[in-house]
Amino acid sequence: MPIMRSTQDARVTTSAFEAPSARVAGLVGVLLLLAGCGATPGATPSPTGSSVAEQAAALPAPELPSKVDVGSVGAAAAPQSALATALVLEVKGRAPKTGYTREQFGPAWQDTDRNGCDQRNDVLGRDLTGVTFKAGTHSCVVLSGTLADPYSGRSIAFQRGPETSSAVQIDHVVALSDAWQKGAQQWDAAKRENLATDLRNLLAVDGPLNAQKGDGDAATWLPPNKAYRCAYVARQVGVKLAYGLWVTKAEQNAMVSILSGCPDQPLPAGITPPATGPVASPGPVVAPAPVVAVVPAPAAAPVPEPVVDPEPASASAPAVSYKNCGAVRAAGAAPIYVGQPGYARHLDRDGDGVGCE
């Protein structure tokens, strides 16, 4: 029997799980109508038989938080908390959705952790209680269980099947389309696939509420169950931190508004807080000691050796003359000093009394 696959980026149109109580209520309504009693004015029609998308459309819009001054709540944030992290996320405008498809994030529900079970069943097995598994699947394929739905706060019976599986769906807490518009379109395929299958970004939730959320961020959709909002927003903050996704200004305002009511809320397990801490208060300003330039004493000028006049050549000695330093070196007389036979000014270019140095 194939497993129904659904995400917040694709609306599911199969019929939702119909509880026995709903069927009984529908039968009683028909009997009352036949008896001439009619429906009670203003009563909400039963969703029995309607699609998940229709049930989602009938849900009331979630109440969103009012705007807050982001700068004013920073002091209340516990170090490395979700609130402190939300304050340091990069804030940019939303990029166009152009080019987005679910396929950009890889095939749905792969077994990326290589445990022999796809990610959908991994999440169902993790989040449901009283789970039963299909025989021969090594405790992988979930047949039934009960979900304590975090989004609605109610209990949902899950039964695997084409008409019932959509009652519980697997939500990408940071929607893939939202990620695409806030940095993911610049990633390679492997990183996008990691986000789509990261168990930290996946939750089993009420199907119609998942469909209502769509690709909304914290500024446009929050779980109706207010008791879960701190954990929900903290998970979004943590995933966006882990993958380097940015947030819009309105989104950051919404995150901070929720988390300011729970300033100690930690990030989800497995996500390392940013390396930021409280800013140390500056100490007293001490004027630096004046820098005294130390000028080294000039090196002593070399004392030239006294020039001893050679003995006058005998009248019979031939005069010595060199055309250039090459001739001096050839004669083995280099260097040649002033007063020595053959010294001449043209051999001593710098005039220091030593030629052909």
Q: What is the DSSP string of 219-282?
A: TT---S-GGGHHHHHHHHHHHHHHHT--B-HHHHHHHHHHHTTSTTPPPPTT-PPPS--PPPPP
Mean pLDDT within 117-133:
97
Q: Are 146 and 158 in contact (CB under 8 A)?
A: yes
Is the pLDDT at 301 greater than 70, yes or no? no
Among 73-82, 84-93, 173-182, 235-244, which stretch is predicted with the lowest mean pLDDT?
73-82
What average pLDDT is seen over the chain? 78
Predicted confidence (pLDDT) at residue 31 exceeds the cutoff of 70: no
294 against 82, higher pLDDT: 82
Domain edges within the chain? 20-37+47-259, 325-355
How large is the C-alpha radius of gyration of the chain? 42
Question: Is 46 a residue whose pLDDT tops 60?
Answer: no
Nearest CA to 70 among 260, 348, 268, 319?
260
Is pLDDT above 60 for 101?
yes
Distances (CA, A) of 86 to 93, 126, 184: 16, 27, 19
How much is the pLDDT for 45? 37
Q: How confident is the model at residue 162 (pLDDT cuts 50, 70, 90)?
A: very high
What pLDDT does 90 receive?
97
pLDDT tens digits, residue range 267-290?
999 999 987 544 333 334 444 455
pLDDT at 128: 98
**More confident call, 253 vs 335:** 253
Does the predicted TM-score (pTM) go above 0.85? no
C-beta separation of 332 from 342 below 8 A: no
Q: Which residue has the higher pLDDT, 225 or 332?
A: 225
Q: Which of 177, 233, 229, 172 is nearest to 198 (CA)?
A: 172
Mean pLDDT on 313-320: 51
Using one digit for the tens of pLDDT, what is the confidence trace for 184-224?
999 999 999 999 999 999 999 999 999 999 999 999 999 99
Which pLDDT belongs to residue 340?
A: 78
